[in-house]
Amino acid sequence: MGDSGPIGPLWFERASCSRTVLSGADAVDLLQRITTNDLDEMSATDVRNTCLIDANGRMLDLLSVWHLGTELLLIGSENQGEVLRAHLADAVSWKDDVQAADADGVLTLLTLVGEGVDDVVCHLVGELPESGRWLMGETCWCARPVHKGEADCWDIVCQAGNRQKVLSLLAMHGVSGADEQTWQQERVARGWLEGGREVDGTVIPLELDLWDSVSFDKGCFTGQEILARMESRGKLARTLVGLSCSAEPSLGRQHTEAGSVVVTSSVEHSRLGWIALALVRPSSIEGDGKFSMQGDAGEVEAKIRILPFS
Amino acid sequence: MSILGDGGGISLPMGDDVQVVEVILTITDAAAERLRSVLVEEAGEDLVLIITTLSGGCSGHLYDMQVAERPDDSGFQHLDVDGIGVTVHNRDSERLNGIQVDYVDTLMGGGFKIENPNADRGCGCGKSFG
């Protein structure tokens, strides 16, 4: 993690990320038709990211799909559960054999980060799951989040009835619970996306560098024409970057000498100072990447950093 | 074994919250001729054309047309269009009301084509609408 690590090991409870379970013979086919990644070849124990987008290519949710054999577990991004479920309800045809269950109250989602978490995962599920796969232990399911370059991070799913047991096991292995402020520091430093901040209805997956969540050869899916056009032109209107800031930047869109900048998240990091995630013009990355912007308490000097912060 | 265990989760309503309208649709002479020949070829009793929308395609929804036995379900509307039996599910009624089914025959590949006054957009290949 360079400047931003090492930390932990820590656990964070991701209560605002929706947990939805799909079942039925057409569940994979439905997701194949309405999301961006190729899920047809998924088999039991596979984990894959895919984006739910509208016909204009705008993000509705970023989903981590866990293939459980006869069911699919969809882990959504923060605070997007209602959007996802409304979309699913509208998308299921009378011909589709698909059932969906809101599992927010039934399944607990934890994310482990920091040094030593691999050992902890081995204790929980017996061995380290391969990349892109989940493994089940006595009390939980575990997979590495499908984020780029995350060597010290795992997602854990357990039934709510096992939550305390899992937390006790984590404590026994020296993993501490962390608060929201610490989570935001880790999240922003690693360039992880959050629903309602980076993932919202204005942004296109490729602008969030979600190339590995989009298939360009699987055939039609909702919003495909927009993404295919962007890919073939090789041009993005904006791209997600990190910002090192001299003080707290204002959230939202502002016009700077680097062009239009949309600050989506910011946090005061214990080692990195004020850092932020922002959408900028790709041309802004060229040169020294420095510009001035507005902060809540006056002018802020910002420098563009490639994610994750290092 | 379900990941939900004994808790079960909360079943989500799927496709229930739709407005049902009484469907009126038209079939061009070319499409009617083609459909009659298909229905004769299939030679089954009480065969109908079932027109459905599925989610997906570039613009959000795809058409699905199928010749099959008339479904015995109160969720469907059964129409007689110039002697051709057409069936539409109530869930699709708002999206399919007012459509015109046509048949085009071209050297570059023809087939049934649907003109939909409810569609704000269509994709380049013409297979989806939104």
pLDDT at A298: 93
Encode pLDDT of A264-275 as tens digits: 999 999 999 999
- Please report, rounded to a whole number, the percentage of residues in chain A having pLDDT higher than 90: 89
d(CA A77, CA A83): 11
pLDDT at A2: 41
Contact B122, B59 (CB under 8 A): yes
Contacts of A161 (CB under 8 A, 6+ apart): B5, B7
The least confident of A49-63, A284-298, B8-22 is B8-22
CB atoms < 10 A from the CB of A280, how many? 23
Q: How many CA atoms lie within 13 A of A23 on its CB side?
A: 16
Query: Which residue of B10, B52, B124 is in closest CB contact with A102?
Result: B10
Our CA angle for A40, A45, A49, nearest 5°, is: 55
Candidates A111, A63, A57; CA nearest to A83 is: A63
The structure tokens listed for B32 are 């009617």
Beta-sheet strand order (sheet of A47-53): A47-53, A59-67, A71-78, A17-23, A99-102, B10-11
d(CA B96, CA A302): 53
Handedness of CA B40, B41, B42, B48 (dihedral sign): negative
Which is it for strands A71-78 and A59-67: parallel, antiparallel or unpaired?
A: antiparallel
Are residues A101 and B12, on separate chains, in Cβ contact within 8 Å?
yes
Contact residues on chain A for B10, CB-CB shorter than 8 A: 101-102, 105
Query: Which residue of A89, A141, A157 is in closest CB contact with B12?
Result: A89
Task: Point out which residues pair with A290 in neighbouring strands.
Answer: A303
Are residues B15 and A94, on separate chains, in Cβ contact within 8 Å?
yes
d(CA A42, CA A183): 31
pLDDT, greater one: B111 or A1:
B111
Reported pTM: 0.92
- Please report, rounded to a whole number, the percentage of residues in chain A having pLDDT higher than 70: 96
Q: What is the ipTM of this complex?
A: 0.85
Are residues B75 and A141, on separate chains, in Cβ contact within 8 Å?
no
Q: How confident is the model at residue B52 (pLDDT cuts 50, 70, 90)?
A: very high
d(CA A250, CA A261): 11
pLDDT at A1: 42
Chain B CA closest to residue A57: B58
| Interface test with chain B among A94, A135, A225, by most B beta carbons within 10 Å | A94
Three-class DSSP labels, A118-162:
HHHHHHHHCCCCCCCEEEECCCCEEECCCCCCCCCEEEEEEEHHH
Helices A117-125 and A163-172 meet at what angle, rounded to 10?
130
Encode pLDDT of A137-164 as tens digits: 999 999 998 765 567 899 999 999 999 9
pLDDT at A286: 84
Contact A103, B9 (CB under 8 A): yes
Which is it for strands A17-23 and A99-102: parallel, antiparallel or unpaired?
A: antiparallel
Candidates B74, B70, B77; CA nearest to B42 is: B70
Interface of B to A at Cβ within 8 Å reads: 2-5, 7-17, 52-60, 62, 64, 75, 89, 91-92, 121, 123-125, 127-128, 130
pLDDT value at A130 more than 60: yes
- The mean pLDDT of B59-81, rounded to a whole number, is 92
Burial class (CB in 10 A: 0-12, 13-18, 19+), B1: exposed
3-class secondary structure, B2:
coil
Handedness of CA B28, B33, B37, B43 (dihedral sign): positive
Are residues A21 and B8, on separate chains, in Cβ contact within 8 Å?
no
Longest dimension (CA), chain B: 59
- The mean pLDDT of A9-19, rounded to a whole number, is 96
Rg (C-alpha) for chain A, rounded Å, is: 20
